[in-house]
A and B are shown apart, each in its own frame.
Chain A
Amino acid sequence: ETGVTQTPRHLVMGMTNKKSLKCEQHLGHNAMYWYKQSAKKPLELMFVYNFKEQTENNSVPSRFSPECPNSSHLFLHLHTLQPEDSALYLCASSPVQAGLAGESGELFFGEGSRLTVL
């Protein structure tokens, strides 16, 4: 059983829709991440949060808007997406704060939200 839960697992939306992806972790971690996997491409880091504060935006278009209200929850708000945004979006958490010199801890992933933009 994963300690990181993502909802919904599948989402189909039109380009003019507004939707949100949700991630929840009950592992007591303070670092949370959004990753994107497009077809036949490696996992790509999108956003990083430490203690609810965003510490990384990996040049992600503004049509993706993250929100981290507390250390257990992470959202990805989606609006006016393009068909090329169709991908698997993975959330992860870590017991190690991102960006801390000399520290590297394993990531705990959710099962992902499969997004299709029509």
Chain B
Amino acid sequence: ILNVEQSPQSLHVQEGDSTNFTCSFPSSNFYALHWYRWETAKSPEALFVMTLNGDEKKKGRISATLNTKEGYSYLYIKGSQPEDSATYLCAFDAAGNKLTFGGGTRVLVKP
């Protein structure tokens, strides 16, 4: 059983503030680490697929880093906006596109 942990489970952020949260995963048999954003009543949408140790990816105000040797990834939101409110899921790929998901970090941005 693969252990993928996300912390914190939830966080409240004031509009305009920046925040970050963590995904930890096994450091062996690494194929890729995925990040998804899941807004309420919608479908999860991919943010990043990261494959290389030290990789950094950015999409608008959201960015992610990857450390495969120690088994963690950070997701950063810069200047949070209410539309960033969502659950952010990470998923570990150890077997070629068969993902094990973490429990998610639920982000609520307060105006």
A residues engaging B (CB < 8 A)? Answer: 2, 4, 31, 35, 40-45, 48, 56, 90, 94, 96-112
A90 CB to nearest B CB, Å? 8
Pair A56/B101 contact, Cβ less than 8 Å: no
Question: Contact between B42 and A104 (Cβ–Cβ < 8 Å)?
Answer: no
Verify A43–B98 contact, CB threshold 8 A.
Answer: no
Closest-by-CB residue of A relative to B4 is A42
Alpha-carbon separation in the docked complex, A56 to B99 (Å): 12
With A41-B103, A42-B102, A104-B49 as given contacts, are A99 and B43 in contact (CB-CB < 8 Å)? Answer: no
Can you show 7 pairs from A to B with CB atoms below 8 A apart? A35-B101, A42-B102, A98-B96, A104-B96, A105-B97, A109-B43, A112-B43
A48–B43 touching, CB < 8 Å? no
Report the interface size for chain B: residues with CB under 8 A from the other chain. 26
In whole Å, how far is A118's beta carbon from the nearest beta carbon of chain B?
23
The tally of CB-CB contacts under 8 A between chains A and B is 73
Chain B 38-73, CB-CB to A under 8 Å as 1, else 0, gives: 000111111001010000000000000000000000
Nearest residue (CB) in A for B44 is A109
Q: Which of B36, B41, B43, B99 is within 8 Å of A110, CB to CB?
A: B43
Interface residues of B in 64-106 (CB under 8 A from A): 89, 91, 93, 95-104
B108 at the interface (CB under 8 A from A): no
With A4-B43, A43-B89 in contact, is A107–B99 under 8 Å at CB? yes
Give Cα A39–Cα B103 distance, bound, in whole angstroms: 11
- In B4-37, which residues have CB < 8 Å from any A CB? 4, 31-32, 34, 36
